[in-house]
Structure 1
Amino acid sequence: MKDYGLYIVTDSKILDGRDFYKCIEDSLRGGTKTVQLREKYATGAEFLQKAIKLRALTKKYNAMFIVNDRVDIAMMSNADGVHVGQSDIPVSYVKSIVDENMIVGVSVSNIEEAKIAKADGADYIGVGAMFNTSTKLDAKSVSIETLKNIRAEIDIPIVTIGGLQLDNIDLLKKCDVQGYAVISAILGKDDIESECAKWLYKIK
């Protein structure tokens, strides 16, 4: 199964005025394996500009680049993949218009959604929110038991997201997941590169 490893989801607000590209490059230098561009407040032009620059950065560090929601920008920036939510374009339709090599991930919060995502052709599922999170206030919470049930039924990679911290990811490691999506717990730190090293040591 493909390993998504330490999976950074961008959020300029968390960076609090720091240089966006430097912060993401610091995470890549620290060992981030996947970067998802998710900028809720960016215009289409800003989003595309960031996508093109992050595509170049992730290639430099041999990391995967995923675009959140915007299938068009994922295609224009030659991203490795696109990630959609339950209220976005259906996975089956996304699959019908993108290159056959493009990864399509989908957010799920229960086993029914996970089964549908798999049946529709999702390459991985993002399961969460696992713990309380301040970056997505409308996220439905998912229990460890539900995560275990999803893992038992679904044979595609699982990326966990939502409130992940160094002191709670041991619970997720026991559930055979292939990725740990993090926002504020890393991007909110002053030394992003060294924080990533701590995470890599923890999830290995």
Structure 2
Amino acid sequence: MPSLGRLHLVTDTRPGRDPLTVLRAVLPVAHAELVVQVRVEDTATDRQAYDLARRVVELCAPYGVTCLVNDRLHVALAAGAAGGHVGADDLPVAAARRVLGPTAVLGATAREPGAAVAAVDAGASYLGVGPCHATTTKDGLPPAIGVGGVQAVARAVNVPVVAIGGVTAQDVPALRAAGAYGVAVVGALSSAADPARAAAEFLRGLGC
């Protein structure tokens, strides 16, 4: 199975954002601990998702960076990504594992220990846990679970737990102390004036 870095960059495809420019800036700095998750707006077509995923896979390949696709597992397979990530309203984890096969990376979203254990039992390689804090990068999210919620999940499972949702570089030491393996970020990098510098700050907090 491909390696799982501690800093997960989720592509920001909201209007006015350029995820490939952000990725190009971050790759040279963070590649040793980077995972890139391709996430597109719900209104994006499969072709648009595929085109972005292919570009991301191509950019990541020289650095050996793992690339995943959120939700659209057929796009992950078509684009040659290392795996995918499913949320609560996507395919069930067991079904997603059948689609991707036994060796792919499969992430699943969880926010409490019971669901986390079930996702791991069904075949999740790692868990995206949150939202840790309030965030504006995705609509319709449930209430934030905080560091304590992340800790509860981390204590319940034996796979990497990646905290997501409004995470800043300043939050990372507390999240690591709570048992988080890593963090996933969207706006903290896509909105940064200097994404490479922002990524370096996250890496320092992660102890990388």
Which band: TM-score by shorter chain?
A: over 0.9
Distance 1:108 1:121 in 2: 13
Distance 1:90 1:52 in 2: 25
Aligned to 2:174: 171
CA contact (8 A) 1:6 1:181 kept: yes
Aligned to 2:62: 60
**Counterpart code for 2:127:** I
Aligned to 1:12: 13
1:137-157 CA distance string (max 9 Å, x none): 322221322222211220011
Determine which structure has greater relative contact order: mean sequence separation of CA pairs < 8 Å that are 6+ residues apart, divided by chain length. Answer: 1
CA contact (8 A) 2:109 2:127 kept: yes
Question: Given the alignment, which residue of 136, 140, 145 partners 1:142?
Answer: 145
Distance 2:10 2:19 in 1: 12
From the superposition, tell whether residues 145 and 21 of structure 1 become closer, same or farther in structure 2 (CA, over 3 Å).
closer
**Counterpart code for 2:152:** N
**Counterpart code for 1:80:** A
Q: CA deviation at 1:180?
A: 0.7
**Counterpart code for 1:5:** R
**Counterpart code for 1:93:** A
Aligned to 1:154: 157
Task: State the secondary structure of the residue aligned to 1:168.
Answer: helix
Distance 1:67 1:131 in 2: 23
Distance 1:190 1:42 in 2: 26
Q: CA RMSD in A?
A: 1.6
Uncovered stretches (5+) of structure 2, i.e. residues with no partner: none
CA contact (8 A) 1:4 1:159 kept: no
Aligned to 1:183: 186
**Counterpart code for 1:200:** L
CA contact (8 A) 2:4 2:35 kept: no
Q: CA deviation at 1:3?
A: 4.2
Q: CA deviation at 1:78?
A: 1.2
Map 1:98-117; keep pairs closer than 5 Å. 98-117=100-119
> How many residue pairs were aligned?
201
**Counterpart code for 1:181:** A
From the superposition, tell whether residues 185 and 95 of structure 1 become closer, same or farther in structure 2 (CA, over 3 Å).
same
Aligned to 2:135: 133
2:23 equivalent to 1:21:
no
Uncovered stretches (5+) of structure 1, i.e. residues with no partner: none
Question: Given the alignment, which residue of 96, 99, 102 partners 2:98?
Answer: 96
Aligned to 2:80: 78
Provide the TM-score with structure 1 as the length reference.
Answer: 0.92
Task: State the secondary structure of the residue aligned to 2:30.
Answer: coil
Aligned to 1:119: 121
Distance 1:56 1:45 in 2: 16
Distance 1:95 1:166 in 2: 32
CA contact (8 A) 1:4 1:180 kept: no
Q: CA deviation at 1:12?
A: 2.1
Taking every aligned residue pair, what percent have the same amino acid on both sides?
26
Task: State the secondary structure of the residue aligned to 2:103.
Answer: coil
